[in-house]
Structure 1
Amino acid sequence: MVELTCTNTDEAGRECARAVVPSSPVSMCQMHILLAAHFAMEMGGFGTGIVAAGGKKSGARLKYGRPSVVYYVQQDTRIKIGTTTDLPTRMQSIPHDALLAVEPGGNALERNRHREFAEFRVNGEWFEGSHRLLSHVSQTRRKYGEPMRAWEQVARHAAAKILDTGQIRIL
């Protein structure tokens, strides 16, 4: 039996090549099904064939929401602490020299990090690259690994959780 692989591409044009969800009528992996479902729901569920559990089409957000991470980027000597549900797109939209680390979490964790490093705040979400902040970033990277791979792991985990709970199904 031949195992099908996801035919979606990343921003560099490389094929995803993750395993296709066995019951899926389209050649998509769990992560891309999750992203497509969220996109469709955010666009109003325009006849997508994506339904919530119970069989009702829904424009409502899924219980588990989109996967999000708190990210740390560096520009010159400053570090930005932000959050996003789409790391690749976010990295294209903000000026930075390097993506240093990510950790799973959303707005609450971001607020906690802003409070934790408040004494180093320069402006908004930008902080001086103090020894304490850089130490935290280094520990975060050691714990979660290379940032883009860590983001993919968070997205895969969220997709698996949604598919396993039966919150959505693809018609």
Structure 2
Amino acid sequence: MDDDGCRGSVPADAPVPLCERHLAAAADWGAAHDGLTDVLPSPCGLCGSRLGVRYPSGWLCAVCEWRHGDIPDAEMPPPRVDVVYYLRYADRVKIGTSANPRQRFGAIWHDELLAFERGGRALEQRRHVQFAADRFPGTEWFRRSEALTAHIAVLAAGVDDPWQLHARWLSEALAAQG
């Protein structure tokens, strides 16, 4: 018996020993506190994702965290988010930078986008120096050394899709514009 006199039976498949009334109360509390992941009512206006998190105060896109229903100001220039990218082609990796990676990748033969790192030319140049021993002379292409592979693994840790990370950075930059 608990403090409010509950004597309800515990369902056999309950994940914790609570009656159905208290299980429902715990689920409601979790949804209000942590949000409930579900399909957005319509695609995200910023990144196009359909996956969202519903809170009592409204929906957020689960990919880029843009508030559902907010419309980006079309009169404002799009935010510039420079990224250093790591592209694989066969057994080589290209380390480059772009503010518009989708357009840039259309001009580069590659098999796979391995990772993004937020930063511009200065960071790209630091990475070129960092992995200079593995660089193919006169190019931005590198051998897949243990050091480079480890660096990419750190960048990719916990990131299922680098484009989702890029979408979040764009969303954050848009939100910062006001």
Larger Rg: 2
User: Residue 46 of structure 2 contacts residue 171 of structure 2 at CA under 8 Å; is this kept in 1?
Assistant: no
1:145–1:7 distance in 2 versus 1, CA, 3 Å: closer
Corresponding residue for 2:93? 79
User: For residue 172 of structure 2, what is the aligned residue in structure 1?
Assistant: 157
Q: Aligned residue for 1:98? A: 112
Quick check: 1:66 aligned with 2:105?
A: no
How far 1:38 moved relative to its partner? Answer: 2.8
Give how far 1:86 is off: 1.4
State TM-score, norm by structure 1: 0.61
% identity of equivalent residues: 30
**TM-score, normalization by structure 2:** 0.59
The answer to which structure has the higher helix fraction is 1
Higher relative contact order (CA 8 A, sep 6+): 1
Number of equivalenced pairs: 122
Question: Shift of residue 104 of structure 1?
Answer: 0.9
Deviation at 1:103, TM superposition (A): 1.1
Match of 2:76 in 1: 37
Q: Flag structure 2 segments of 5+ consecutive residues without an equivalent.
A: 1-39, 51-60, 62-67
Post-superposition offset of 1:92:
1.9
Larger CA deviation: 139-148 vs 93-102:
139-148
Residue number in structure 2 paired with 1:48 = none
Once residues 7 and 130 of structure 1 are traced to their aligned partners in structure 2, the CA distance between those partners, rounded to angstroms, is: 39
Question: What is the Cα-based RMSD across aligned positions, in Å?
Answer: 2.8
| Structure 1 unaligned spans of 5+ | 22-27, 40-64, 164-171
On the 8 A contact 1:6/1:20 being kept in 2, the answer is no
Letter paired with 2:99: T
Matched residue type, 1:128: R
